[in-house]
Structure 1
Amino acid sequence: MFYDVVVVGSGIAGLYTCINLDEKFKVLLLSKDKLDLNNTSLAQGGIASVLDENDRFKYHFEDTLIAGNYKNNKKHLEIMVKEGPKDIEKLLNIGVDFDKDNEGNLLKTLEGAHSKRRIVHHKDKTGREIIDKLIKNIKNKKNIEILENAFLANIKKDELFKLTILKDNKNYIYRCNYLVLATGGIGKIYKYTTNSSISTGDGIAMAHILGANIKGLNLIQFHPTALNIGNNERFLISEAVRGEGAFLLNNKFERFMSKYDKREELSPRDVVSKSIIKEINETKSENIYLDISYKDDGFIKNRFPNIYENCLKYGIDITKEKIPVYPSHHYLMGGIDVDKNSQSSIDKLYAVGECSHTGVHGNNRLASNSLLEGLVFSRRAAEDINKKDKIELKINCETKYRNIDGNIELDNNYKKDIQNIMQSSYFVNLNKNKAKEGIKKINYIIKELKNNNYIKNVNYYETRNMAIISKLILEESLKNDK
């Protein structure tokens, strides 16, 4: 089967790419799992953008530079900050229900390292609201086909892209002229992450295999306030909770952030996470809490219904009790290196959202800039493709399939090994000795995957991708460690 454009990933960047593509193109939207299972759906806080006279582009620009330690791509950052408001407007026109006051004005919250209230939101379920409305819009477009529970296993390129897609334990071959990777993050390489279960770095790993430039994989963000309960996938306690006045407390229920930064709880995420680790080492206790219980019950329940309900599942009433929190893997600032139109170093291969490296975030992402980046640069990718002509095919592109290869079932032990390696080697701070040991262990895993006739199913390819990404991260981290 041939498509003009294949978009891989159904988060905000993938969906918004599809919405902005010209209807002259035949488009396939590929979703690894269900259409609404993605990291965007988990996003709570909102989208940062300059939307009123009390704010200025230069303030948002400067806040992002400060959070990113001035390592940002300034040209791309200027594009994001200045073009962001029109994408917020488009979301409103699509029907996204951002919170408003009684007069219909957008409500904006404050988050860590922002100098102004500029984050628009839908309660504390902003991502879910956006995804629902984007999916509804896409399902009305006749030029877009949707393929769910379909895994992109391999990419090859000659005149066209040749995609091997796994579905129902069969390999299907698809071809396309333009390929947009919107495959999200890498969270599952860590033992503890706020990411969804599908975040195994697939797009970045395959782009690397294809020969695309990959940049900044050592730039990993650890969110300071994940709920310190549960197994691999930790529930996120949004940045907005601190933005609305919550305090961080140590094991003695004492505030401590003022010891480490004058911005206290509203410091950038990397500062807060490192401060928590320092406080843990000083107090010799991993008991850290976030407390907003002094606020009015009605305000908490109305502003943070999702957090309130999820904490109740663990027996914590945040209107009365402190929330146990701990840093957790959250976001990747690096990825497939792209230009201002999200074009990678490989012709006609685009990358958008978290799997891309636009450079706008620098060394550390400012809160609520991720959804903004996903909107602005996915639209720009679509606009760039829209300028191109459709091609007339001269080859037969019938859909073909074959059964998957291999006869040895691969268990999850290698995945667990990778998670343990990454958790011990590079969690908030880099442990150089363990990183060097970790690379040796990952090389062994990669060798075993190649040399054994494992069944080439989704589990196999996820393990391969996790190993590739983890090795690249540790190598680049050691190279850049000063």
Structure 2
Amino acid sequence: MHPILDYDVVIIGSGAAGLTLALHLDSQLQVAILSKGELMAGSSAGAQGGVAAVLDTQQDSLDKHIEDTLVAGAGLCRESTVRHVVEQGNASIQWLINQGVPFTREEEDEKNFNFHLTREGGHSTRRIIHAADATGRAISETLIDKARKQPNIHLYEHHLAIDVVSTNKLGLDEQRCVGVYVLDIHSDQVKLFRGRAQAIASGGASKAYLFTTNSDGASGDGIAMAWRAGCRVANLEFNQFHPTCLFHPKAKSFLISEAVRGEGGLLVRPDGTRFMDDYDHRGELAPRDIVARAIDHEMKKLGADCLFLDISHRPRDFITSHFPNIYERCLEYGIDMTREPLPIVPAAHYTCGGILVDLNGQTDLPGLYAIGECSFTGLHGANRLASNSLLECFVSARSCAENINHTIADQPPCPEIPVWDDSLVSDSDENVVISHNWDELRRFMWDYVGIVRTTKRLLRARNRSRLLQHEIHDFYSNFKISNDLIELRNLSQVAELIIECALSRQESRGLHFNLDFPFTQDHSKETTLIPENFVPENAIKF
């Protein structure tokens, strides 16, 4: 038995973008939010730093934020997108405040704006609003609580999207997205969710790498689904590696916030000497791509397993009040950051490219939207400015909701869609194959498509990726699907797209550094990949 559920809007993902979209949709629309795990399990809830926006107009300006974003993006940002997002920042923050997000306030209310603002790498001034050092958790808890109270919003935990359904697969002339096949992980049933609009808000693909700051769910599901449905993707060669992930055998994917450096933390070698001034005049506050490459270079030069981040020179009370969660978490691992430096390594953190969309989040498939990290709007260019990611989630979700609210009444009812057919496949007793392929994929992506690349390494990765794709396709065609198989299928697809984008870019720019092409070209453009089933007449306009 394969259930069919009908909604007006189906949202794939329960992070900042998905929740914001749901809460901005007309209350008369019936909305389903699909979360592959628990609602709080995604990357949004783990975000530490905060949200970048122009809030203190005495010290900051829209032009400053725009300029900082363009500089970090290394010549590949879409300036119109940057301006749109930055200009909508203040309204988005005010909406969050109105929802009850407990942002940290200044101790002394002497300014027009009484929230504490911190500074992070690449920013020319303090503009990061935050909730201590657990901003993502505070935002997620607030928005989930709001969503639970809305009678038109229906939350589905442990529901993993398999593929979106388009009318061309049903033999209909007009191409549009009309639903999603979804695995209910607990019941092992495949359900059909039908909707007049679908929105992918599933996050990035940093789990393609062996070391990542992201949650286990960051397997590029939405990017892979959109590609298979005929949507273009862009700039996937630009994978941001966060410079400071805690290096400890028991600390899985624990990020040390950029704000630690923003508040005076210093990067040092094992002997305690600083090195960032040797690489960039901005020192520890250089953009993430520069800092991550500097750490990677120093580690390889010294043969060191890790380097260190030291903020122990700041007062103890300052550290514990500004970074209470990081402090407590590090203590659990026997590290007192008020007395000693933190061992750190770079780790895959953010996917700057993604599904090509317009400012409303519309993809090349009518009826299918993409917002947040899974999308490519042109905001981040070749390197994302710290704390611009959450900002993009809120701004793009609000624009997407406005578009859906105005257009959904014109959409025809969903056609008949066949339920999922698994009558010709069998249960697998070879899960070890999935596990082995998973490990192999993440290792060769780390070794060959990591912080520093060469063309030879990329070609090796392409060859192995293609072999892996064939193996996974055979497995997918012959056995019943599982959570691990779906994620592996998606991750291998996105890995191949990352590799193809990286091979296409014959220069070094931002987060993409190729030793065979160490120069930066005078003129460059976005890397766009086009699937075989792309319909040019449906191409989005910018």
- Shorter-chain TM-score range: over 0.9
1:103-151 deviations in Å (ceiling 9; x for gaps): 5511100111111100000110000000000011111111111111001
Paired residue for 2:474?
Answer: 451
Paired residue for 2:360?
Answer: 341
Q: Is the 8 A contact 2:195 2:414 kept in 1?
A: no
Paired residue for 1:466?
Answer: 491
Given the alignment of the two structures, is residue 14 of structure 1 paired with residue 18 of structure 2, yes or no? yes
Paired residue for 2:80?
Answer: 75
- Mean Cα deviation higher: 392-401 or 319-328: 392-401
Deviation at 1:24, TM superposition (A): 2.1
Q: Which of 427, 446, 455 does residue 407 from structure 1 map onto?
A: 427
1:445-464 deviations in Å (ceiling 9; x for gaps): 21112224233111111111
Q: Is the 8 A contact 1:197 1:233 kept in 2?
A: no
Aligned-partner SS, 2:199 = strand
Compared CA separation, residues 146 and 400, structure 1 to 2 (3 A): farther
Paired residue for 1:393?
Answer: 413
State how far apart, in whole Å, the 2-side matches of 1:267 and 1:101 are: 26
State how far apart, in whole Å, the 2-side matches of 1:232 and 1:302 are: 22
Within-5 A mapping of 1:138-157:
138-157=147-166
Deviation at 1:280, TM superposition (A): 2.2
Paired residue for 2:125?
Answer: 116
Paired residue for 2:276?
Answer: 257
Given the alignment of the two structures, is residue 432 of structure 1 paired with residue 436 of structure 2, yes or no? no
Aligned-partner residue type, residue 161 of structure 1: V
Paired residue for 1:92?
Answer: 97
Q: Superposition RMSD on alpha carbons, in Å? A: 1.8
State how far apart, in whole Å, the 2-side matches of 1:160 and 1:279 are: 48
Given the alignment of the two structures, is residue 63 of structure 1 paired with residue 68 of structure 2, yes or no? yes
Compared CA separation, residues 481 and 311, structure 1 to 2 (3 A): farther
State how far apart, in whole Å, the 2-side matches of 1:394 and 1:199 are: 30
Paired residue for 1:478?
Answer: 503
Aligned-partner residue type, residue 181 of structure 2: T
Within-5 A mapping of 1:252-291:
252-291=271-310
Given the alignment of the two structures, is residue 305 of structure 1 paired with residue 324 of structure 2, yes or no? yes
Unaligned runs of 5+ in 1: none
State how far apart, in whole Å, the 2-side matches of 1:399 and 1:325 are: 48
Q: Is the 8 A contact 1:185 1:332 kept in 2?
A: yes
Given the alignment of the two structures, is residue 42 of structure 1 paired with residue 68 of structure 2, yes or no? no
Q: Is the 8 A contact 1:223 1:273 kept in 2?
A: yes
- Mean Cα deviation higher: 209-218 or 402-411: 402-411
State how far apart, in whole Å, the 1-side matches of 2:499 and 2:98 are: 43
Given the alignment of the two structures, is residue 184 of structure 1 paired with residue 189 of structure 2, yes or no? no
Paired residue for 1:162?
Answer: 179
Aligned-partner SS, 1:85 = helix
State how far apart, in whole Å, the 1-side matches of 2:264 and 2:7 are: 50
Q: Is the 8 A contact 1:2 1:174 kept in 2?
A: yes
- Mean Cα deviation higher: 391-400 or 435-444: 391-400
- Mean Cα deviation higher: 401-410 or 305-314: 401-410
- Mean Cα deviation higher: 214-223 or 162-171: 162-171
State how far apart, in whole Å, the 1-side matches of 2:75 and 2:241 are: 19
Deviation at 1:189, TM superposition (A): 1.1
Q: Is the 8 A contact 1:218 1:473 kept in 2?
A: yes
Deviation at 1:165, TM superposition (A): 0.7
Compared CA separation, residues 428 and 400, structure 1 to 2 (3 A): closer
Deviation at 1:231, TM superposition (A): 6.8
Paired residue for 1:293?
Answer: 312
Q: Is the 8 A contact 2:10 2:193 kept in 1?
A: no
Compared CA separation, residues 392 and 360, structure 1 to 2 (3 A): closer
Q: Is the 8 A contact 2:422 2:480 kept in 1?
A: no
Q: Which of 33, 51, 55 does residue 55 from structure 2 map onto?
A: 51
State how far apart, in whole Å, the 2-side matches of 1:470 and 1:401 are: 28
Deviation at 1:174, TM superposition (A): 1.7
Deviation at 1:230, TM superposition (A): 3.0
Deviation at 1:479, TM superposition (A): 1.2
State how far apart, in whole Å, the 2-side matches of 1:107 and 1:11 are: 24
Q: Which of 372, 386, 391 does residue 367 from structure 1 map onto?
A: 386
Compared CA separation, residues 455 and 470, structure 1 to 2 (3 A): same
State how many pairs are aligned. Answer: 482
Deviation at 1:74, TM superposition (A): 0.5
- Mean Cα deviation higher: 39-48 or 397-406: 397-406
1:317-361 deviations in Å (ceiling 9; x for gaps): 000011001111000100001111111111121100100001101
Aligned-partner SS, 2:270 = coil
Paired residue for 2:258?
Answer: 239
Compared CA separation, residues 247 and 394, structure 1 to 2 (3 A): closer
- Mean Cα deviation higher: 129-138 or 472-481: 472-481
Q: Is the 8 A contact 2:164 2:177 kept in 1?
A: no
Q: Which of 195, 201, 216 does residue 214 from structure 2 map onto?
A: 195
State how far apart, in whole Å, the 2-side matches of 1:152 and 1:287 are: 37
Deviation at 1:442, TM superposition (A): 1.6
Paired residue for 2:6?
Answer: 2
Q: Is the 8 A contact 1:225 1:237 kept in 2?
A: yes
Given the alignment of the two structures, is residue 215 of structure 1 paired with residue 234 of structure 2, yes or no? yes
Compared CA separation, residues 400 and 206, structure 1 to 2 (3 A): closer
1:282-320 deviations in Å (ceiling 9; x for gaps): 333333100000111111111101111111121100000
State how far apart, in whole Å, the 2-side matches of 1:312 and 1:366 are: 29
State how far apart, in whole Å, the 1-side matches of 2:108 and 2:347 are: 39
State how far apart, in whole Å, the 2-side matches of 1:396 and 1:59 are: 52
Aligned-partner residue type, residue 77 of structure 1: V
1:24-60 deviations in Å (ceiling 9; x for gaps): 2111111110011110111000001001221100000
Compared CA separation, residues 406 and 460, structure 1 to 2 (3 A): farther
Compared CA separation, residues 102 and 248, structure 1 to 2 (3 A): closer
Deviation at 1:170, TM superposition (A): 1.1
State how far apart, in whole Å, the 2-side matches of 1:444 and 1:398 are: 31
State how far apart, in whole Å, the 2-side matches of 1:160 and 1:218 are: 27
State how far apart, in whole Å, the 1-side matches of 2:418 and 2:300 are: 61
Seq. identity, %? 38
State how far apart, in whole Å, the 2-side matches of 1:93 and 1:465 are: 37
Paired residue for 2:31?
Answer: 27
Deviation at 1:398, TM superposition (A): 10
Paired residue for 2:539?
Answer: none
1:224-252 deviations in Å (ceiling 9; x for gaps): 11111237942100000000000000122
Compared CA separation, residues 233 and 203, structure 1 to 2 (3 A): farther
Aligned-partner residue type, residue 43 of structure 1: A
Compared CA separation, residues 285 and 394, structure 1 to 2 (3 A): closer
Compared CA separation, residues 376 and 403, structure 1 to 2 (3 A): farther
The two structures have a TM-score, normalised by structure 2, of: 0.86
State how far apart, in whole Å, the 2-side matches of 1:121 and 1:318 are: 21
State how far apart, in whole Å, the 1-side matches of 2:461 and 2:160 are: 28
Aligned-partner SS, 1:473 = helix
